């Protein structure tokens, strides 16, 4: 069953993601789906906090496709925004996913093959500072 929460500020999304991080294990994959400005990067900042990593390191850099925030476990932050077609498949996501890190992927709808067991988190902008966040996918069971 998908689970939906509504947040009413950036901080509420950070808080939700921070608590959500407790459900993740080494090798967990979180697929983030939603339009520009929907809150995907904000969510990753909350994940970093929840994993004991530096949230200030989390941003949406123009040219970086994959950022690694080192810790136990480390978090790989992947942003597919600027990639198209075959480049998405050539990124080496499989190798990342096979390791002990946690992988969070923005614009995951561009993936042609989704990692097995991934958790999907969908973001919908409901106007103003309201965002509806829905957690689903095969990895979402608690």
Q: Does 74 bind ligand ADP (CB under 6 A)?
A: no
User: 127: alpha, beta or left, given left = phi > 0 and alpha = psi -120 to 50?
Assistant: left
Nearer to ligand ADP, 5 or 98 (CB): 5
Q: Is residue 66 within 8 Å of 76, Cβ to Cβ?
A: yes
Q: Does 77 bind Mg ion (CB under 5 A)?
A: no
**Interface with ligand ADP, residue 77, by CB under 6 A:** no
- Which of 7, 28, 46, 115 touches ligand ADP by CB under 6 A? 7
The minimum distance between CB 24 and ligand ADP, in angstroms, equals 19
Alpha helices in 8-104 (DSSP H): 10-20, 40-50, 85-89, 93-98
**Residue of minimal Cβ distance to ligand ADP:** 39
Q: Cβ distance 75 to 69 under 8 Å?
A: yes
Tokens of 31: 């697929």
Q: How far is the CB of 35 from ligand ADP (least distance, A)?
A: 7
Residues lying near ligand ADP in the complex (CB under 6 A) are found at 7-10, 12-13, 34, 36-42, 60, 106, 129, 131
Residues lying near Mg ion in the complex (CB under 5 A) are found at 40-41, 60, 106
């Amino acid at each position: 069953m998908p689970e939906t929460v509504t947040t009413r500020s950036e901080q509420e999304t950070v808080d939700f993601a921070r608590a959500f991080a407790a459900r993740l294990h080494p090798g967990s994959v979180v697929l983030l789906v939603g339009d520009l400005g929907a809150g995907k990067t904000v969510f990753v900042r909350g994940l970093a906090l929840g994993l004991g990593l530096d949230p200030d390191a989390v941003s949406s850099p123009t040219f970086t496709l994959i950022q690694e925030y080192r810790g136990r476990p480390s978090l790989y932050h992947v942003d597919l925004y600027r990639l198209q077609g075959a480049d998405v498949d050539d990124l080496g996501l499989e190798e990342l996913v096979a390791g002990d890190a946690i992988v969070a992927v923005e614009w995951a709808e561009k993936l042609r093959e989704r990692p097995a067991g991934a958790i999907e988190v969908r973001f919908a902008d409901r106007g103003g500072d309201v965002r509806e966040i829905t957690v689903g996918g095969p990895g979402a069971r608690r």
